[in-house]
Structure 1
Amino acid sequence: MAEIKQVQKPFDNSQNWLSEHASNVTSQTGEDGIIEKIFEIMGTNEEPWCVEFGAWDGKLYSNSYNLLVNKGWHGVMIEANTEKFGELTTTYQNYPKVHCVNRFVQFQSPDSLDDILNETGIPKDFDFLSIDVDGNDYHIWDSLKEHRPRLIVIEFNPSIPNDIVFIQDPNNDLNHGNSLHAMIELGKAKGYELICTTPWNGFFVPKEYFHLFEIEDNSIYRMYNDQPYGTKLFQLYDGTLLIGGNTQLIWHNIPIAADEIQVIPRSVRRFPDKQ
């Protein structure tokens, strides 16, 4: 029987040094500690503001809860789900600086992120934006024209290899996600640079702040190790397809069976040049 195993390539995480400050208050993979370190280096506006959507209940895996509750920031928390919005308002009912908004963020007026934020009085250069909508994250950031946050944390799909640029269709009914490489390209087009990654979040600051973090090389290959979540598909001479690396559907915990992804039936697979 054939043997398949993935040999992990060594990864130098020294350029992604901010990840060493990872810790959680309510965040999922260390974002709270990294955010604190970034603002320790970069500073905040005199009256700091943060924005998060989808905010869910305002606490579970939130990247803003620590800033709002423990640091006293102003905030805009946006959640489309009516039931979760009720929980969100309960979470922040004793925090008058927090604006809870029950809206579905779209790419154009009247429900674009710019439109929603313009109704709150938030500064155009507010301090922190967290984007996590499990699909249209790229398009929401792309649509943001009037506001320029000083730090953006945005979710990407960690199963997509570093060398692939993938942007999901701008469709609210899809939950595909986008590649980190696509986010980096969008960030550069908008004047932002990558300064840190966690397993599925990228941290971006305006390019004028990038030098503060003394990162010599923020290319994707120095900032993110794509091996843990990647699925490797390869071809054998006879047309058989095999998989290595991560061999299960990450968000469903279902194994990926190689015999169910074949293009050519086993009975007719052969090496074309074989005599």
Structure 2
Amino acid sequence: MTSLRASELYWKFDIKAIDVFVTAENINSLLNDNGFSGEIGILHIDIDGNDYWIWNAVTVANPIIVIVEYNSIFGYDMPWTVPYNPSFVRTQEHYSNLYYGTSLLSICDLAEEKGFHFVGCNSNGNNAYFVRKDWIKGLKVLSPQEGYVESRFRESRAEDGTLTFINGSERLKLLRGKKIHNTRTNSLEDI
């Protein structure tokens, strides 16, 4: 927070920065108290953990575009998200630093429930883009399989914290046995 306030961006633009841990329980009051209720242009959720649960909880804002971080190692066909934990911290949940967030399928299912269409992912394979259905116009709507982008960054860690540079499907193997929330059955299962 201090680095943002010290940056050129902070004094050049009308940026409001608050230092708070976001949870499903406080997201609506945070949005409302800071003037983001009703229709807004963009909502971007990228918190390395409870991204699915945070968007699911949002009721006070009606964005036109939503950008949500997804965990590409969960793939495009598994309805998975990490179980909700209001104090979730990615680096503390699993030594690999890979156990966080939601699958693309789960976030696309949630988007559909909330009245949004999936229009694609960024080239890094970590952000999914959604447009509210009444604003879709001529944009092509994609299935999770069509729009999926596998991340290419190699951020996995060994138990001692050093980078292991594992990529592709090998990353998911590190999470075998971890509990994951199936968003279609609303139950816990093992990875």
Q: Note the C-alpha offset of 1:93.
A: 3.6
Equivalent pair of 1:194/1:204 in contact (CA under 8 Å): yes
Measured against aligned partners, the alpha-carbon deviations of 1:118-159 in whole angstroms (never above 9, x if no partner) come to 122235211111111111111110110110111111110011
Change (3 A) 1:169 1:97: same
Decide whether the 8 Å contact of 1:129 with 1:152 is kept in 2.
yes
Structure 2 Cα separation of the partners of residues 224 and 154 of structure 1: 13
Secondary structure of 2:74's aligned partner: coil
Letter in 2 for 1:161: G
Task: Choose from 83, 86, 91 the match for 1:169.
Answer: 83
Q: CA RMSD in A?
A: 2.8
**Structure 1's 101 and 225: CA in aligned 2 closer, same or farther, altered over 3 A?**
closer
Residue in 1 that maps onto 2:30: 116
The answer as to whether partners of 1:155 and 1:201 remain within 8 angstroms in 2 is yes
1:250–1:97 distance in 2 versus 1, CA, 3 Å? closer
For 2:5, the equivalent position in structure 1 comes to: 89
Corresponding residue for residue 134 of structure 2:
208
Contact persistence 1:164–1:179 (CA under 8 A): yes
Whole-Å separation in 2 of the counterparts to 1:174 and 1:105: 11
Quote the offset at 1:174 in angstroms.
Answer: 4.6
Aligned match for 2:142, one of 218, 229, 237: 218
Higher-Rg structure is 1
State the partner residue of 1:98: 15
Query: Which residue, out of 48, 66, 71, partners 1:152?
Result: 66
- Higher RCO (CA-CA < 8 Å; seq separation 6+): 2
Task: Check if 1:131 corresponds to 2:45.
Answer: yes
Q: What 5-or-longer segments of structure 2 have no aligned partner? A: 91-99, 158-162, 176-191
**Which digits, 9 at most, give the CA deviation of each residue in 1:70-113, with x for residues without a partner?**
xxxxxxxxxxxxxxx111222244146211111111111xxx22
Aligned to 2:56, which of 127, 142, 162? 142
Does the 8 A contact of 1:135 with 1:177 survive in 2? Answer: yes
Match of 1:194 among 118, 126, 131: 118
Distance 1:145 1:191 in 2: 12
Give the number of equivalent residue pairs.
152
How far residue 169 of structure 1 moved from its aligned partner, in angstroms, is: 0.9
Cα–Cα, structure 1 residues 120 and 95, in superposed 2: closer, same or farther, change >3 Å?
farther
Distance 1:224 1:100, change over 3 A: same
CA distance in 2, matches of 1:135, 1:93: 26
Counterpart contact for 2:50–2:88, Cα < 8 Å: no
Aligned-residue offset at 1:164: 0.6
- Aligned equivalents of 2:156, 2:14: Cα separation in 1: 35
Aligned-residue sequence identity (percent) comes to 22
CA distance in 2, matches of 1:93, 1:126: 21
TM-score, normalised to structure 2's length?
A: 0.70
Q: Report SS of the residue matched to 1:117.
A: helix
Residue 27 of structure 1 corresponds to none
Query: Deviation string for 1:2-60 (max 9, x for gaps)?
Result: xxxxxxxxxxxxxxxxxxxxxxxxxxxxxxxxxxxxxxxxxxxxxxxxxxxxxxxxxxx
Q: Does the CA-based 8 Å contact 1:195-1:210 persist in structure 2?
A: no
Tell me how far apart the structure 1 counterparts of residues 73 and 58 of structure 2 sit (CA, whole Å).
26
Q: Distance in 2 between matches of 1:87 and 1:250?
A: 23
